């Protein structure tokens, strides 16, 4: 019976964590470039139970180590959460500093069993590199193209992009022109295994080893376009997320009722069955 307590409790904890990441997805449903998280639930390793002392057990049920009683599952847990790097819808804003990546042809990584992904490459003021799909950019006081949290947008020469004003144009290949003169080219990085990236929050990712991702412009297997005056919306499906959230609530309640039933049984066993009259 105590095993039942552990199994029901582990189910409640797992569903609580599912509720937390689904709630976070809903909270960021309107965040530009946000990649909704998905989770995988796994059962704990199954245990094989055997009985020692085999004098009264048929020989066919006896192994070298004792009598085989069967398997025992010890509950469930949420193994991990990872972003879902699917393309979000593009929303027109007509702001020149809003930029969105439209994926067209992205190769599939058969080894990692995932599709590649494209990112804007950013530079932290301390020089470290980060990646994002949130193209809701702005110009700082020095004219550098930055994110709202102060990260510099990088060009293909790995230099910060500096402009005189927001009156600039960006072509579909990322080439930036201002007053009829070329000012550089936006760098779009490509990852053939985006699941290997580390999520930092605020729509930022980094590589595990700190190395920069290669540029997508040099990859003939990748096709994309850069759209000025657009932002990429979150890829969270609100309707599906609400459905999954209700399912998580119902599963949590079911485990809670099982736990309460075990508690009543233990109460009866301790206070009624064992009572001396």
pLDDT of 57-98, one tens digit each? 455 544 555 555 555 666 788 888 899 999 999 999 999 999
Query: Tokens in use for 209?
Result: 């080893």
State residue 47's pLDDT score: 58
pLDDT in tens, 126-179: 889 999 999 999 999 999 999 998 999 999 999 999 999 999 999 999 999 998
Report the predicted TM-score, pTM, of the whole model to 2 decimal places: 0.82
Alpha carbons 34 and 204: distance in angstroms, whole number: 9
State residue 56's pLDDT score: 54
pLDDT mean across residues, the chain: 87
Burial label for 211, CB within 10 Å (0-12, 13-18, 19+), is exposed
State residue 275's pLDDT score: 62
pLDDT in tens, 154-166: 999 999 999 999 9
Alpha carbons 12 and 2: distance in angstroms, whole number: 16
Between residues 57 and 268, the one the model is more confident about: 268
DSSP codes joined into one string, 196-255:
GSEEEETTEEE-SS-PPPPBGGG-TT-EEEEEETEEEPP---HHHHHHHHHHHHHHHHHH
Query: Tokens in use for 68?
Result: 């085989």
> How many percent of the chain have pLDDT more than 70?
86
State residue 254's pLDDT score: 94
pLDDT in tens, 11-28: 999 999 999 999 999 999
Q: Tokens 């000025």 map to which residue?
A: 228
pLDDT in tens, 218-249: 899 999 999 999 999 999 999 999 999 999 99
State residue 271's pLDDT score: 77
State residue 229's pLDDT score: 96
């Amino acid at each position: 019976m105590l095993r039942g307590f552990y199994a029901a409790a582990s189910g409640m904890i797992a569903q609580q964590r599912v509720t937390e990441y689904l709630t976070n997805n809903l909270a960021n449903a309107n965040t530009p470039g946000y990649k909704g998280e998905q989770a995988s639930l796994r059962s704990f390793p199954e245990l094989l139970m055997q009985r020692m002392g085999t004098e009264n057990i048929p020989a066919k049920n006896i192994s070298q180590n004792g009598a085989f009683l069967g398997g025992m599952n010890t509950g469930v847990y949420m193994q991990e959460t990872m972003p879902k790097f699917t393309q979000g819808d593009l929303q027109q804003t007509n702001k020149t500093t809003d930029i969105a990546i439209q994926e067209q042809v992205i190769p599939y990584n058969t080894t990692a069993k995932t599709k590649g992904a494209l990112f804007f490459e950013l530079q932290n003021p301390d020089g470290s590199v980060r990646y994002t799909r949130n193209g809701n950019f702005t110009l700082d006081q020095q004219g550098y193209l930055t994110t709202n949290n102060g990260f510099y947008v990088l060009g293909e020469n790995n230099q910060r992009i500096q402009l005189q004003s927001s009156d600039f144009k960006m072509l579909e290949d990322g080439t930036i022109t201002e007053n009829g003169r070329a000012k550089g080219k936006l760098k779009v990085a490509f990852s053939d295994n985006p699941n290997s990236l580390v999520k930092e929050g605020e729509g930022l990712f980094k590589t595990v080893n700190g190395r920069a991702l290669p540029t997508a412009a040099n990859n003939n297997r990748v096709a994309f376009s850069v759209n000025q005056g657009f932002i990429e919306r979150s890829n969270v499906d609100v309707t599906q997320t609400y459905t999954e959230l209700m399912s998580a609530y119902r599963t949590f309640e079911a485990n809670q009722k099982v736990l309460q039933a075990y508690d009543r049984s233990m109460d009866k066993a301790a206070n009624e069955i064992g009572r001396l009259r």
